[in-house]
Amino acid sequence: MARSVLVIDDDPGVGVIIRKLAAELGVQSEQVGSVSAAVTAIEKTRYALAMVDFRLPDGSGFDVIQTISKDRMPLFFFMTAHGSTDAGVEAMNKGAFDYLEKPIIPSLLKLKMKIALQMSETRLAMSQVHEKRKQYYGFDRLRFRSKSMELVFNTAKRFAASSGDTLLITGESGVGKSFLAELIHYSSARASFPYVHVTCTTLSSELLESELFGHEKGAFTDAKSDKEGLAERAHGGTLFLDEIGEMTLQTQAKLLGFLDSQKFRRVGGVDELSVNLRVIAATNADLPQLVEDGKFRRDLYYRINVVHLELPPLRERREDIPVLAKMFAESTAQKLNVRVPTIMKDAEEMLLAHQWPGNLRELSNVIERCLIFSTDESLDSRVLARWLVQGDPVIPSLNLVDLNLERMQERLIKEAMKQTGNNQTKAAELLGITRAQIIYALKKEAGKQQ
């Protein structure tokens, strides 16, 4: 009964009206007349929508919301006595989807029920997506041997389960800061709400402020209409500010005010808006040094540094490399639909000896390339050396005296096509470009030869 309605009202006449409307909308329905009966029904059956009378013989509709476990919670629609608008508003503040004053107007109620049922279906689909993400990002899925990472993830797990609203993650490029932020989000009570990633380096100060807080129509030349900011979009969930050290001092000041109150005004707006979200900031910069240099606000640094997780570089936790390599091999094999290769002892020794300047990102890329271009059931030093010791094998030796960007691109594409047996898709993956770019370059070269 996933698409079903529960009427919680001791008036049989109300039940007749609502059940008739439910049938017209193509959904099943049933009626109970008390808080205790409603709780029992919801615990046994998963309903899409619960139509609740504010006053019941053994309590109020609020008692139903407060008693039901979150994983069984349908969308609640409150029905209040005429003139009881305050009760309806209070119901929505306590988690109700909508409310309607009695006496019931069938046409209006049917429209509201239709909207609520559509919202319920959307919520169900989103919860299924979130459940899959929670399985992917689960703390139990992670593997490591180092004490340093054990400490980091124990702290991250505690923070995810807490009501803390601010976290700072630091570490070199490629150590997994954004992955850890998503892991915390999808392991928290906020998992069913949005996770919004903002890269602070990609936008100017003016654009970053508009992206974060939105803008009103006419706020600037290109503001043709009102725009919701990313902070609004992340309401209830997590706002991830990547590379926060790149923010200008002007934007830092506005961010500080927002973090203190979780209230803001859109660019060009006068109304104050409020949200409830968690902010996770990340950077590979030395924030204390930026503070000393006057490039980062000291008060903002203290505000975001309530809980601090420092992710160590891969070279400082080499004992994790074999288990990470195996994990990347398994996930990549699943993505490519190939067998998981056995990582041989000589390959493992080579992985342990490498310095990994690109950290986890580099290790993941190396393993993926090995699986793309090798059909062997094992990954040994012979296969690995081609991608690890020699760096990028596609780049041919270059004559720096006669260096020309266009000619260098032609040589790179020719070599990539040769390495992949003229497979355009694999050549594009190897070079980190699109297949369309490969086709364009080959056509351009063919035109020169005519």
Determine, yes or no, domain membership for 331: no
Residue pair 29/7 in contact by the 8 Å Cβ criterion = yes
CATH of residue 419: 1.10.10
CATH of residue 251: 3.40.50.300
Instruction: Say whether both 407 and 266 belong to one domain.
Output: no
Domain count, the chain: 4
Instruction: Say whether both 154 and 265 belong to one domain.
Output: yes
With 50 as the cut, is the pLDDT of residue 37 above it?
A: yes
Q: Among 85, 115, 132, where does a domain finish? A: 132
With 50 as the cut, is the pLDDT of residue 175 above it?
A: yes
Determine, yes or no, domain membership for 394: no
Q: How many whole angstroms separate alpha carbon 244 and alpha carbon 72?
A: 38
User: Using CB atoms within 10 A of its CB, is residue 247 exposed (0-12), middle (13-18) or buried (19+)?
Assistant: buried
Q: Please report how many Cα atoms fall inside a 13 Å half-sphere around the Cα of residue 304, on the Cβ side.
A: 29
The mean pLDDT of 300-326, rounded to a whole number, is 95
Instruction: Say whether both 55 and 152 belong to one domain.
Output: no
Q: Among 104, 132, 160, where does a domain finish? A: 132
The mean pLDDT of 75-83, rounded to a whole number, is 77
Encode pLDDT of 360-412 as tens digits: 999 999 999 888 887 788 999 888 887 774 444 444 444 444 445 566 677 77
CA angle, 66 then 69 then 73, to 5°: 85
The mean pLDDT of 11-38, rounded to a whole number, is 92
Amino acid at 31: Q
Instruction: Say whether both 90 and 155 belong to one domain.
Output: no
Instruction: Say whether both 302 and 194 belong to one domain.
Output: yes
pLDDT of the residue at 127:
67
Determine, yes or no, domain membership for 294: yes
Q: How many whole angstroms separate alpha carbon 416 and alpha carbon 435?
A: 12
Determine, yes or no, domain membership for 215: yes
Instruction: Say whether both 291 and 433 belong to one domain.
Output: no
The mean pLDDT of 185-207, rounded to a whole number, is 84
CATH of residue 347: 1.10.8.60
Range of the domain at 414: 400-449
The mean pLDDT of 419-436, rounded to a whole number, is 76
Give the largest CA-CA distance in the chain.
91
Instruction: Say whether both 303 and 234 belong to one domain.
Output: yes
CATH of residue 63: 3.40.50.2300
pLDDT of the residue at 422:
80
With 80 as the cut, is the pLDDT of residue 156 above it?
A: yes
Instruction: Say whether both 151 and 289 belong to one domain.
Output: yes
Encode pLDDT of 113-123 as tens digits: 888 888 788 77
Q: How many whole angstroms separate alpha carbon 137 and alpha carbon 181?
A: 10
pLDDT of the residue at 83:
55
Instruction: Say whether both 152 and 289 belong to one domain.
Output: yes
Instruction: Say whether both 37 and 63 belong to one domain.
Output: yes
The mean pLDDT of 202-206, rounded to a whole number, is 71
Encode pLDDT of 230-265 as tens digits: 998 888 899 999 999 999 898 899 899 999 988 888
With 60 as the cut, is the pLDDT of residue 196 above it?
A: yes
Determine, yes or no, domain membership for 11: yes
Instruction: Say whether both 375 and 409 belong to one domain.
Output: no
Determine, yes or no, domain membership for 330: no
Q: Which of 86, 89, 76 is nearest to 42 (CA)?
A: 76
Determine, yes or no, domain membership for 332: no
Give residues with Cβ within 8 angstroms of 200, minimum separation 6.
Answer: 208, 241, 242, 243, 244, 246, 247
- Polymer length of the chain: 450
Instruction: Say whether both 370 and 250 belong to one domain.
Output: no
